[in-house]
Amino acid sequence: MADEDKREVDAYSGVDTTGHEWDGIKELDNPLPRWWLWIFYASIAWAVVYMVFMPAVPAPPGFDGHTRGLRDHSERANVAQAMNDLQAQRGPLFDRLQQAADTGGIEAIENDPELLNFALAAGESAFGDNCSTCHGRGAQGAIGYPNLNDDVWLWGGSFEAIRQTLHVGIRWEDNPDTRFSQMPAYGRDGILSREEISAVADHVMALADMIEPTEAGNTTGREIFELQCSACHGVNGLGDQTQGAPNLTDRVWLYGSDEAQIENTIWRGPYGVMPAWEDRLGEETITALAAYVYLLGGGERSAFSEAALDGAHQASEAGR
């Protein structure tokens, strides 16, 4: 036979060659190893069984994406089920939390250890999902974004005040009840000259005990402050929470503490914006968040007590 004639046996191993040859190297016609073949066949068998029982074959659009398989297994349905279970488990606690907050305020929550733990856990997780992008993982804040761990509050640090801030947002134009106030842009809008801004910044920094009073600060600066700034920040610079006007004497600075930053703030008129959360989060979640934020800083105790301010100052130093 012609084929027989072409047979070529490798002299060294005694195995037939396939007839393929590259640069003098010839391919031997060894059979596939048995163990390899068995794994190969087993894989095929497994694939067939898998296709029958599990979702596998892509289906055309409109047919739920894929065949469902005999086991009717669906990761998506499993996740939905798990969410429902979680909701069912948490629902009653959320209801209790809401009730306690509405009737007894933060004290009612603090006096119920189970509720307190739940509020902290739910608040922390909602904070990570919604707030940490701006306020930081540990709520330590950044330039323009307040530190929520300290006892220094723009709009009030009572449980109710925090709840209200979260509901309506700050300078959030889509919400008719949003917290609102606007410091003029003294430089940009030509109300004060560079020299006047520098003088009033001197006065502000002296109020905060950060520099020795200067000549310009004590005369021009003080005069401008009383005329232009005291309506919001108070004659002594202690601020006004009804207008979100910060205390300028506590050495906690939202927009930076060096002279250039303070002058720049006065020049441009700061305008911090926070979304209204009542449009995005449920009432119970806002309550849990308010409790979490309130308890972060121990809430507002006596706003101007030395101890609170010292603590706030340290926290703010550590956070920035």
Q: Cβ of residue 280: shortest distance to ligand HEC, in angstroms?
A: 8
10 Å Cβ neighbour count for 159? 22
Among residues 228, 249, 287, 316, the one that binds ligand HEC under rule CB under 6 A: 228
Q: Pick from 136, 179, 131: which is nearest to 155 by CA?
A: 179
Residue whose pair of structure tokens reads 């072409």 in the numeric block: 6
Among residues 205, 266, 288, 308, the one that binds ligand HEC under rule CB under 6 A: 266
Q: Cβ of residue 127: shortest distance to ligand HEC, in angstroms?
A: 6
Segment near ligand HEC (CB under 6 A); pick from 12-20, 25-33, 106-114, 252-260: 252-260
Give yes or no for a contact between 164 and 177, defined as CB atoms under 8 angstroms apart: no
Number of residues lying near ligand HEC (CB under 6 A): 48
| d(C-alpha 218, C-alpha 202), whole Å | 8
Structure token digits, residue 316:
């703010």
Residue 308 binds ligand HEC, judged by CB under 6 A: no
> For residues 140 and 228, which CB has a smaller minimum distance to ligand HEC in the complex?
228
Segment near ligand HEC (CB under 6 A); pick from 44-52, 65-73, 82-90, 143-151: 143-151
Segment near ligand HEC (CB under 6 A); pick from 40-48, 55-63, 206-214, 221-229: 221-229
Q: Cβ of residue 292: shortest distance to ligand HEC, in angstroms?
A: 8
| d(C-alpha 204, C-alpha 143), whole Å | 19
Structure token digits, residue 312:
């706030």
Segment near ligand HEC (CB under 6 A); pick from 99-107, 110-118, 268-276, 310-318: 268-276
| d(C-alpha 300, C-alpha 48), whole Å | 66
Residue 135 binds ligand HEC, judged by CB under 6 A: yes
> For residues 274 and 315, which CB has a smaller minimum distance to ligand HEC in the complex?
274
Segment near ligand HEC (CB under 6 A); pick from 34-42, 63-71, 114-122, 261-269: 261-269
In single-letter form, the type of residue at position 197 comes to I
| d(C-alpha 235, C-alpha 35), whole Å | 89
Residue 167 binds ligand HEC, judged by CB under 6 A: no
Residue whose pair of structure tokens reads 């005694």 in the numeric block: 14
Residue 130 binds ligand HEC, judged by CB under 6 A: yes
Give yes or no for a contact between 292 and 119, defined as CB atoms under 8 angstroms apart: yes
Structure token digits, residue 146:
């307040």
Q: Pick from 263, 269, 265: which is nearest to 195 by CA?
A: 263
Restricting to residues 180-219, which ones interact with ligand HEC according to CB under 6 A? 181, 183, 186, 200, 204
Residue 154 binds ligand HEC, judged by CB under 6 A: yes
Structure token digits, residue 311:
């603590």
Residue 146 binds ligand HEC, judged by CB under 6 A: yes
How far apart, in Å, are the Cα atoms of 116 and each of 125, 163, 170?
Answer: 14, 16, 27
Give yes or no for a contact between 224 and 129, defined as CB atoms under 8 angstroms apart: no
| d(C-alpha 223, C-alpha 180), whole Å | 27
Among residues 115, 118, 119, 165, the one that binds ligand HEC under rule CB under 6 A: 165
Using CB under 6 A as the criterion, which residues of the chain lie in contact with ligand HEC when the complex forms?
127, 130-131, 133-135, 144-146, 148, 153-155, 162, 165-166, 170, 181, 183, 186, 200, 204, 224, 228-229, 231-233, 243-246, 248, 253-255, 262, 265-266, 270-275, 277, 289, 293
